[in-house]
Amino acid sequence: GHGKCDCGKCKCDEGWYGEACQYPTTCNLTRKKSNEMCKNSQDIICSGAGTCQCGRCKCANSEGNGLVYGKFCECDDRECIDDETEEICTGHGKCYCGNCYCEAGWHGDKCEFQCDITPWEIKKRCTSPDGKICSNRGTCVCGECTCHDVDPTGDWGDIHGDTCECDERNCKAVYDRYSDDFCSGHGQCNCGRCDCKEGWTGKKCEHPRSCPLSVEESVKKCQGNSNLPCSGRGK
C-alpha cells in the first residue's frame, strides 16, 4: 500500500523503502515498542535471523537469495540445502519454511534417499486393517508410516502402530495427552480398546455391572441441575 508495482518490482512512495515498500524512512516508534513488535512467540527479536526496523523484521539475506523470510524471519530455507549437492532438497522436492516436501519416490530430511520399492508395495505396507493409508492418522514414506503424534518425551505418543492403527485417545474419558486416566481407571488400554476389569463395562469401562445406589439416588446423580435425568438425552 506504499508504492506501485512495475514489472514485478516495487517503486515506493516517498517516505517508504524495501522490496515491498514495507519500511518507513522515518520511524515514530520508540526502540522498545519497535522491538516488541518484532519479537516471535519465544520473545526473540526477528528469530535471531534479522534486524528490527520500525516494528518490522528485515531478514538477514546477505547473499540476496531470499532464503530467510517470514514476518519474524522464522523461515530459513537454508535448512533445505543439501551439504553435498548444494541443491535445495537435492532437486527432488520443494522447500517450505525450512522443511523439504519430497516428490514421489524420494524421502529424507532433504529428499536425499530414493525409495527402492514399487508404489504398489509402498501402498500395501502402509495400508491399515481398515483399508486406509496409515489409518488416516499418519504419512506413508517408502512403505513406513509416520504417525501424526509424537510424545513430547520423544517416544511414541497416543497414536502408534505399524500403520498408526492404535489410538490411545479412544481410551480416555476426557482427552488430555498428558493424562494417564485410561479406561476410567477400571481397565487396560490395548491399541485404543479398553479391556475392562471384572465388574466394569462400557467403551471406557465407565459403568459398574452392579450398582450400590438406590434407583432414587441414581436418578438424582444423573439429574444434576437439569429437570430430567441425563438432560433427557440419555439413560
Per-residue pLDDT reduced to its tens digit, 140-176: 888 888 888 755 454 556 888 999 999 888 888 776 6
CATH 2.10.25.10-classified regions of the chain: 124-208
Cα(99)–Cα(178) distance, rounded to whole angstroms?
28
pLDDT at 174: 72
- Structural contact between residues 14 and 21, judged by C-beta atoms closer than 8 angstroms: no
Alpha-carbon distance values, 159 to 86, 137, 164, 192 (Å): 36, 8, 6, 9
**What average pLDDT score do residues 100-114 get?**
86
Measured in degrees and rounded to the nearest 5, phi and psi for residue 84 equal -85, -50
Decide: pTM greater than 0.75: no
Q: What share of the chain is helix, strand, coil (3-state, %, to 5)?
A: 20, 30, 50
Average pLDDT, rounded, for the chain: 87
Cα dihedral 25→31→33→34 (10° resolution): 40
Confidence at 132, pLDDT banded by 50, 70, 90: very high
For the domain spanning 124-208, the CATH number is 2.10.25.10
Question: Tens digit of pLDDT for each residue in 27-78?
Answer: 888 999 999 999 998 899 999 999 998 999 989 886 767 889 999 999 999 8
Confidence at 24, pLDDT banded by 50, 70, 90: confident
Cell numbers given for 232: 433427557
DSSP for 112-177, written as a single string: -EE--S-HHHHHHHHB-TTSSBGGGSEEEETTEEEES-B-TTSSB-SEESTTS-EEGGGGBSS--T
Question: Tens digit of pLDDT for each residue in 83-93?
Answer: 888 899 999 89
pLDDT at 50: 92
